Structure 1
């Protein structure tokens, strides 16, 4: 029986690296870490692989694929960011593989299996829940498999080695809390998620800084992004301290709108009785009645810039810029007094 001819895909799979890494080893070896380069070259020798013109041109091929890892495609902000990624990816004829990160994907073995099996040339990681274990897992994927990774709208503030595109969530949380204080609000609540997310922790830290500076009592209320759940929570909150609340910051627009609807049903007037800020400027902000004031995060632009940086890393093995902090703005609508 004739021996099957080895392909670049066989090399990538055996060496546990991406197709782009094999291509760089063949075309631009100086851009590949020596350890990885030696590993790939040994596999090439062991398999007797003979690169053809197609393989040598893989660095600029039209079949580059990117794994886009998202927490939940039903969230408006995630859909907007994926749209930004797709806009930029089309410029390079990249294909996107979407991974929705449910609980089982958070186990290292599962994620490694999925990413390596897909032979993705790079990863855009958009999950806003990133802890020490997950961060180290991403670094192992990057180092062991030589797969470029960019964090999009996801911050790991402790000695981050991964390329990142985001806004300053701490500063944003501080800014809108200061605005509510300047309105004369005294009992300002931060409505955040029961589940811990790194970006929400940063929003909370900004809120707490402004509250402490003003000598006010902090109120952090944890709820769910699920309207059927948080409506019940807001009814309970109103029963306990409803008349005292005069300012609210919600970490998601959907939570802010759900809170507004609950308070209006209880007879509270927005913004006369309670000023409310959201934190995304998604479609919910404009559909809300009254329309929601909020932080305007450049979601689409984050996706575009993250994809551009990932392309740079795929092509060169690294990027000149490791952190891009995009500007945000505060949109004042009818749910606050300004």
Structure 2
């Protein structure tokens, strides 16, 4: 997420009473080489966390008004005795992102994608300053440091948004995890780590739709492609209304997806989703298995669904 050097600069700017600092003065205050200082500040400026302007042959730097910068500054000023640059560097922010509720070390290791040894080491450091508490093998952020979790959440979203904006316009994040995110945007992206999803992606499964100009992408470095079960879940994350549920029904039927596969895939997204995808996918499967007998107001009449499926040569 952020290096110790980057957090050190943010901490120094947060604690300083001046509106801005001269970059050379910052280097002197930190005892850093000017070249190293310039590289760190440049990285933070690229990420939109600081502002850097050249005035009269010198660089003036200050915190930006981005949400994570403001939240971090509040933390530094409220807890001046805490060395946040040492505590939050490396994988710690990933752990805090998933400490929005009590979790075991094993769960944190799986969700953050780090070793359990690293989790215990980081949690021990956080416990030593009273930031995290442990009860019955479950860890939680203490009430006085709840803002640290809010900072981690805002930072992850901010960095995702900044990255996406480098490749497209009109970015709106729909679902975010530490290393992956689902977004809507206005222009197409041809990078391997951005996988097209949403209604346009149904065309590859023989379900061509007349869609709007919006584009949807799922950004992930670890995946080479999205499965049909991924697409079902992502469609529901985009819009869980009647129209999108009908799209999902068509895809489930066309690909003969089973409830276990869908439920396991939905569980992965449910970790940071605002809706209950597992229940939704189970409801869709129950509708299909019962020939529409088990239905809800957001699902089509069975005869109407059969007619739509026949239009796409999908056998129900």
Please give the TM-score of this superposition, normalised by the length of structure 1.
0.29
Please give the TM-score of this superposition, normalised by the length of structure 2.
0.30
